Amino acid sequence: MSAANTEVPRGNLVGLVKYWKSDLVSGFLVFLIALPLCLGIALACGYPAIAGVFTAIIGGILATFISDSELTIKGPAAGLIVIAIGAVQDFGFTFGKDPAADIQAYKLALGVGVAAGIIQILFGLFRAGIVAEFFPTSVVHGMLAAIGVIIIAKQVPVVLGVSPEGEPLELLWKIPENILHMNPAIGIIGITSMLTMFLWPLVKNKYLKMIPAPLVVLVLAVPMGMYFHLTKDHTYVFNGHEYELGEQFLVRMPDRVFGMFDEITFPDFSGLATVVGWKWVMMFALIGTLESMLSAKAVDMIDPYQRKTNLDRDNLAVGLGNTLCSFVGGLPMISEIVRSKANIDNGAKTRFANMFHALFLLVCVALIPTVLHLIPLAALGGMLVYTGFRLASPREIRHVFEIGREQLVIFVSTMVAVLATDLLIGIAIGIGVKFGIHIINGVPISSLFKPYVDIKQTNENSYVIIARQSAVFSNWIPLKKQIESVLQDERITNVTVDLSDTKVVDHTVMEKLHELQKEFEQHGRTLKIVGLEDHQSLSRHPHEARRKPKRAIIRITVIAEASLEQRLTGKFMELGAKGYTVVDCRGGSIRTPPEERKPKVRIEAIVSPSVGNRILCYLADEILDEFSVAVSTENVEVIQGDYF
């Protein structure tokens, strides 16, 4: 489907009237997916379960009228679990051992969320959306994979009914021990839920596939929880061991209609007086904004109508939403990719589908909270284990390897660094590895952040942009601005990016140039990428980095009498030199009086080692014994040896 041959739906009053049925249906189906995920993500973050629902409701309603992103669903996302749980833990979260301390940690995290939301508002107002273009693709994927591993590590204990205490790497090592000590009844619910999430996509029946996997999990898990009488505190004996069951294994929800409003919690801003508090403010603001923008861009790429999100306006919507969410006790929100993809698959046309999904959540949590209380925590943990696996799946690692080995090095370095330290340090290490690889590949340090660009107009509707030195992720933003600057003239329809004078073009720039090509096509313009013929691709992937190989070249310098010029240059060409340079000069020895110094010529030829050896043999055999000639050689590095 193309915007060129069909009407493009828009999220305005006309769009609401015209497309409300399709948006309502999609909103309802997304609501079925969102409800359990919102509850599970909130609990995984150390927040009350209802906090995730607050976020989805506020995000769905507020963003609909502020953002112009037509198909993204706003709400809590698994990618922010690591930040949220890290914040509450630093503020004294005890995983239920001390409820008063847990509530205080939650309130302090809300204060951090308000500050982060205000910073995101500033990002939107000052048009900082382009900052997302800076981060290398492999670093971002490595970060997300690490988040996936952390989610798995922290949710497996929930699936098994044991306490999820410890750091991610420690929890991974404890998985076999947790399996041995699991609560069997809870483990049955959790493992069944997890297997359902993994196996449901394999179902072939088209009617069954219409049912969202999270809904299938609830249909199975809630009756299992009722069978094990989880609403009553009791114990049971299995294989000689006694285990506890009770409401602590169920989602805590309000016990009456409209009780959700009693759960509104206001932030404590005292954490902002600490260094730790501002650390998490920056984590929420930077990582949340990055994830949200990447998700919005990904959704734009699969939008059937090829509509584009104004990222600055979307950042403003997310910032306002996060500020309000944190004021009432909600989680941070982003543009969430999984629910947005489901929104597209379910036939949504405009951003009012986001609003309808939020309204369904509001009605559900307000009117039937006691039903939601029957959902086992292990079922939500099973869903999140599947979510974590998708972020860190072997398929993702294989895809990165196919792009290039150096991309895999960056990906793994970032993932391991995040697991061993934290998100910001891990990302910084990943970017540092990327810089190191660029320098090894020959990127001049002077061009790491500054692109060297020449712009030439070839005719009234065409420009050529010549990039020199390098085109890499760290200088992409100013390079992109140069490309887009020529489009201010509406007459310009053809732009050519010439990369022939670059030493390195990295994967991030290759990928973003191809994204720009698609954007140009959508606007009836053409973007050509030329000049990569002499570059060496570091893999077979079309978006892989390119490097212009250095060539071993010899410069031969001969100083001889002017009368030998024609003889020497002719022989040089005969022996394989493709060119030479001749400079007139005068010279002589110390003993030669100035008036007797004869005219000389300085002949230079840059040749391959094999041609150089032939020339040196010729000079030694036929010239040096007969004439007074000075000869020198030196190894040089050139970019395009074919020119010599």
The domain locations on the chain are 13-313+325-394, 398-440, 445-547, 551-643
How far apart are the C-alpha atoms of 155 and 381, rounded to whole Å? 5
Residue 27: what residue type? G
How many CA atoms are closer than 13 Å to the CA of 283, on its beta-carbon side? 25
Confidence (pLDDT) at 588: 65
Helix axes 184-199, 137-160, angle to 10 degrees: 140
> Which tens digits make up the pLDDT trace of 94-135?
988 899 999 999 999 999 999 999 999 999 999 887 777 888
∠ CA 84-87-93, rounded to 5° = 100
Lowest mean pLDDT among 20-34, 319-333, 626-640: 626-640
Give the residue ranges of DSSP H helices in 347-452. 352-367, 369-372, 377-391, 394-403, 405-420, 423-440
Residue 284: what residue type? F
Report whether pLDDT(3) > 60.
no
Q: Which distant-in-sequence residues (6+ apart) come within 8 Å of 27 by Cβ?
A: 348, 352, 353, 354, 355, 356, 357, 358, 359, 360
Topology of the domain comprising 445-547: Transcription Regulator spoIIAA (3.30.750)
Confidence (pLDDT) at 328: 96
> Which tens digits make up the pLDDT trace of 480-511?
988 888 878 888 889 999 998 898 999 999 99
- Give 289's pLDDT tier (boundaries 50, 70, 90): very high
**Average pLDDT rounded to a whole number, residues 358-369:** 95
Q: Are 361 and 31 in contact (CB under 8 A)?
A: yes
Report whether pLDDT(158) > 70.
yes
Mean pLDDT of the chain: 90
Which tokens go with 384?
């999140």
Report whether pLDDT(11) > 70.
yes
Which range has the top average pLDDT, 60-64, 128-132, 166-170, 400-404?
A: 60-64
Report whether pLDDT(590) > 80.
no
Q: Are 197 and 211 in contact (CB under 8 A)?
A: no
Q: Which is nearest to 63 in space by CA: 308, 350, 294, 318?
A: 318
For the chain, state the CA radius of gyration.
32
∠ CA 619-623-627, rounded to 5° = 140
> Which tens digits make up the pLDDT trace of 378-394?
999 999 999 999 999 89
Which residue is it, tokens 């060129």?
A: 4
**Average pLDDT rounded to a whole number, residues 504-523:** 89
How far apart are the C-alpha atoms of 260 and 330, rounded to whole Å? 12
**DSSP for 214-256?**
HHHHHHHHHHHHHHTTTTS-EEEEETTEEEEESGGGB----SS
- Contacts of 229-236 with CB under 8 Å at 24 or more apart are 230/374, 230/376, 231/373, 231/374, 236/185
Confidence (pLDDT) at 385: 95
Q: Which is nearest to 379 in space by CA: 30, 31, 40, 85?
A: 40
Tell me whether strands 494-505 and 526-530 are parallel, antiparallel or unpaired.
parallel
- Give 434's pLDDT tier (boundaries 50, 70, 90): very high
- Give 4's pLDDT tier (boundaries 50, 70, 90): very low
How far apart are the C-alpha atoms of 511 and 519, rounded to whole Å? 13
**Average pLDDT rounded to a whole number, residues 272-300:** 92
**Average pLDDT rounded to a whole number, residues 502-530:** 89
Q: Are 273 and 41 in contact (CB under 8 A)?
A: no
CATH architecture, range 551-643: 2-Layer Sandwich (3.30)
Lowest mean pLDDT among 17-26, 108-117, 392-401: 392-401
Buried b (16+ CB within 10 A) or exposed e, 272-309: beeeebebbbebbbbbbbbbbbbbbbebbeebbbbbbb
Q: Are 385 and 152 in contact (CB under 8 A)?
A: yes
> Which tens digits make up the pLDDT trace of 409-430?
999 999 999 998 888 899 999 9
Per the model's pLDDT, the better-predicted residue between 598 and 378 turns out to be: 378
**Average pLDDT rounded to a whole number, residues 8-26:** 94
Confidence (pLDDT) at 640: 55
Q: Which distant-in-sequence residues (6+ apart) come within 8 Å of 315 by Cβ?
A: 120, 121, 123, 124, 128, 129, 289, 292, 293
How far apart are the C-alpha atoms of 644 and 634, rounded to whole Å? 15
